[in-house]
Structure 1
Amino acid sequence: MSRCPRLPIHRPKAEHGPTSAEPVTARQLEVLVTIATHTAETGHPPSFRELADALDIRSTNGVQDHIKALKRKRCLLPDDEGPVKMRCLVLTESGKELVAQHQAAGATKESKKGVSHG
């Protein structure tokens, strides 16, 4: 008896477009900036322990909560879409835009501090 060939299951990819309607908190933005900075400096994303240490979070569970929220808000790729399936911390275009806006705002504040008003 011959078997019918299995057809592949079609699963639509998650959108990586604009962020969700839910805004990113200041702490979540810190997490994004830390991931982006660490990745730029080392060539790979930080581990959960490295994030916890960098952000003064006591446990990796706290980091995991922020990561889940950032994935839900489409600022990080879902686990099944990064180059390494486990704990893949890759910023989406939305996440990169948020980091760039944050860094630009920080640069503007720094340039204003350096201006003498006397």
Structure 2
Amino acid sequence: MALKSTKFRISSAARDILMADTTVRALIGSRIFPCVAPEDTDEDFILYYRDKYAVEQTKQGIYMQTATVMFAVVSNGYERSQEIAEAIFIALTESNTATRFELIDSTEDYSDKKYVQLLLFEIQ
């Protein structure tokens, strides 16, 4: 029996979109990590994780899947953190995929001498 398509791996698919984007790659390189960065990571980086996954179904089966994925941009510089966050927003919302990315929340923080931009995307 073949597995039906799910959004359990959507955060990895979003990472693939970011890795393919030339602007994001120019800013971050390949430093996009699931959940936690390696301890020796000193340069700017992006963390991502799936925050929520919901399935709506009828008697005929699944009719909608919604996931939310959080991206955290961690940087030594405030302006740089904003530049990277903006590149993520553009790469995901303008991606030519059947998946729709919608930014539903964004905030910023300062922690451990690093600037952090948080972007929460709803994905359908």
In our comparison, the structure showing a higher alpha carbon Rg is: 1
> Which range, TM-score by smaller chain?
under 0.3
TM-score by length of 1: 0.27
The structure where strand makes up a greater share of residues is 2
The structure where helix makes up a greater share of residues is 1
